[in-house]
Structure 1
Amino acid sequence: MNWRLLMATWLMVFMQGVAHAAVEEAVVQLQTANGVLEGTLLVPEAKRGMPVVLLVAGSGPTDRNGNQPGLHHNALLQLSGALAQYGIASLRYDKRGVGRSMSAAPREEDLRFEQYAADVRDWVKWLAWDKRFGKVTVIGHSEGALLGMLAARQAKVANFVSIAGPGRPADQLLQMQLATQPAEIQSMALPVIERLKRGKTVEPVNPALQALFRPSVQPYLISWFKYDPAKEIAKLKMPVLVVQGTADIQVEEEDAWLLGAANQRATVVSIDGMNHIFKKSVPDRAQNWNTYTQPELPVMPELIAILAKFIRQGGKLD
């Protein structure tokens, strides 16, 4: 079932029906075989069995609030707080090797995509042990959507949400990004991508490509390239929500429709004017990127209302 942006009148009615809740915040830790991960648990004052979401951040050195060095926007922090006002608990965490989870950082050559997915799975299991919570919803942002898909099949997840999740394998996305580079760079990079896609490492690597394809990162890229988000989302048996903003300059609207078409249980929602970090913006790249360093900008209320309704109604929007 595919939806466009819900009408503003419906949004206002739904939001008016929700009372603001007192919220408890706690720092929590997850013991893993390779170090300790740390996160923040937000719990509204509600009855036993309240819904809870696990927020899975996107690519790069992203912390529990959605931030990276030089990119401070607090998107996940704001999302967590807004959901609490709907009586929905949430857990967000520093990725392995980031922030207060730094002690769990593996050597770069030992890192695999599956390790990040296992962290998501183990956090879901951790939440399942807490008797305050009922159904667990995984919300994956950007690359975190694919991680959430993999984890949702390994743990007890009631609902799955992709926000700005790519609908194509990472090697294809990388090729699309390289299409804007000079022909010389493309001619050097594309054969490397093709070989990595086949599971083969490449040495030596041209110095111009070291940042992307240095030998120590190649095993991780190989482990990432083998997953097709459309194929992975097709395997999910729980309700699925795919959300995409029309002002996203990192992931295209077509990706959302690719994901939605792959799973009959999926509902696709397009939010007009929302960019990659859930903020109101415009397609102009310069203005759009400016929002990535403005933490005072709120996440769009349309997104919060849609997520809250999907979670509170057991994976339904109608």
Structure 2
Amino acid sequence: MKMHIFAFLLGVLATTLALGQTELNITLKTKTGNIEGTLMYPSAPIPVPVALIIAGSGPTDRNGNNPMMTNNSLKMLATDLASIGIASLRYDKRGISQSKSAGLQEAELKFEIYINDAVEWINLLKDDKSFNQLVVIGHSEGSLIGMIASQNSKVDKFISIAGAGQTADNLIREQLKAQPPMVMEQSAPILNELVKGNTVEYVPPFLNSLFRTSVQPYLISWFKYDPQKEVAKLEKPVLIIQGTTDIQVNVEDANRLHAAKPDSKLALIDGMNHIFKNADANPLTNMMTYRQPDLPLNGELVKVIGEFILTK
């Protein structure tokens, strides 16, 4: 995979900051198309710390949005980090928004491709003398991607926000428990085969959205990674953040990660949901925040992250 590194980046940056601008569009060139990102700089003398922000599952863009809902969670996180002197790079996942040209056929997509993309962004940032510290922030599914990519020696620190603390197949099993018993009865044999690395030819029509043939290679590649084992491999400072009103990932997941990496720092943020916003635990009102792009982030989040990154 080739990186597109702007040789004149420092000169552009100096001009940009002089003009009072804080964002630059950055392109990562790959064999299957370009991945587009936004580099946000704080109003502070360089070099500064930089955080690579990795989005969660689904068709999520650099701002934390998808075609079904707009919340601007990742854009707000980048802005809040800049306000305390931390630069950040966030990007559209391949096949999404401005990175659409890098999309693959669903049957060709593997979890490792997302990991490799994160590693290439890490390489790009580490080569830039504008930064004196490189931190990876992974949100939700991006937590697992980030913790594997952060095994790279170029990463100084890793932050997990709302990261699962168990393998994805077990996470799916837990979620399916809320469905009628028939759903689990027919899903379990499929999950068991996928965990073994085997595809399944027949999928009941009502389960096709979850286990369709074309998505099975991705599920197989995803299921083999255990977050507890991967976070334990990190020989660097780790911060695990979890909101107490997250209805997608719970506090027990954070506790599992912390137990697997005992020297990590665990921060439970009261009243913060999956997209970093204040919400109660009621699923209906909680989900309403997913469509409120102007609702600010929980104020504790950037404080916790800032203390972790800026403390030597």
Q: TM-score if structure 1 supplies the norm length?
A: 0.90
Amino acid at match of 1:29: T
Please list, as runs of the form range in 1=range in 2, the aligned pairs for 1:149-298 lying within 5 A after superposition.
Answer: 149-298=147-296
1:206 deviates by 1.4
Partner of 2:44: 46
Measure how far apart 1:223 and its partner are: 0.1
% same residue: 51
**Residue 63 (structure 1) aligns with:** 61
CA contact (8 A) 1:94 1:100 kept: yes
Corresponding residue of 2:24:
26
Q: Which residue of 2 aligns with 1:7?
A: none
Query: Where do 5+ consecutive residues of structure 1 fail to align?
Result: 1-21
1:95-132 CA-to-partner distances (Å, cap 9, x unmatched) read 01100000000111110000001111110111111111
Distance, in Å, in 1 between the alignment partners of 2:103 and 2:174 is: 30
Counterpart contact for 1:121–1:155, Cα < 8 Å? no
For residues 179 and 92 of structure 2, the distance between their equivalents in structure 1, rounded to whole angstroms, comes to 32
The one-letter code matched in structure 2 to 1:233 is: V
The CA distance in 2 between the partners of 1:229 and 1:37, in whole Å, is: 26
Following superposition, which runs of at least 4 residues in structure 1 exceed 6 angstroms of deviation? none
Residues 23, 44 of structure 1: 8 Å contact kept? no
Deviation of 1:279 after TM superposition, in Å, equals 0.3
Structure 2 CA distance, aligned partners of 1:210 and 1:65? 29
Shift of 1:47: 2.4
CA root-mean-square deviation: 1.0
Quote the Cα distance in structure 1 between the aligned partners of 2:277 and 2:118: 25
Give, as a single letter, the amino acid of the residue that structure 1 aligns with 2:287: W
Contact 1:196 1:222 in 2 (8 A): yes
Shift of 1:153: 1.1
Tell me the residue number matched to 1:91: 89
Alpha-carbon offset, residue 23 of structure 1: 5.3
8 A Cα contact 1:125 1:155, kept in partner: no
Higher relative contact order (CA 8 A, sep 6+): 1
Runs of 5+ consecutive residues of structure 2 not aligned to the other structure: 1-19
CA drift at 1:46: 2.2
Tell me the distance in 1 between the aligned counterparts of 2:311 and 2:31. Answer: 36
Letter in 2 for 1:54: L
Say if 1:72 and 1:292, in contact at 8 Å, map to a contact too.
yes
- Give the C-alpha shift of residue 155 in structure 1: 5.0
1:189-239 per-position Cα deviation (integer Å, ceiling 9, x unaligned):
110001000000001211111111111100000000001101100000010
Judging changes above 3 Å, is the alpha-carbon distance between structure 1 residues 110 and 155 closer, same or farther for their aligned structure 2 residues? farther
Residues in 2 aligned to 1:157 and 1:119: alpha-carbon distance in whole angstroms: 15
Aligned with 1:97: secondary structure?
coil
Aligned pairs, number? 293
1:254 counterpart SS class: helix
Give the equivalent residue in structure 2 for 1:106.
Answer: 104
Distance 2:64 2:153 in 1: 24
Equivalents in 1 of 2:78, 2:202: separation in Å?
44
Alpha-carbon distance between aligned partners in 2 of 1:115 and 1:155, rounded to the nearest angstrom: 19
Q: Deviations over 1:235-282 (max 9, x none)?
A: 000100000011100001000010011113300000100000000110
Distance 2:205 2:282 in 1: 32
Q: Which residue of 2 aligns with 1:79?
A: 77
Q: Secondary structure at the match of 2:266?
A: strand
> What code does the residue aligned with 2:297 have?
V
Q: For structure 1, which segment, 166-175 or 126-135, has the greater mean C-alpha deviation from structure 2 after superposition? A: 126-135
- SS of equivalent to 2:137: strand
Amino acid at match of 2:230: E
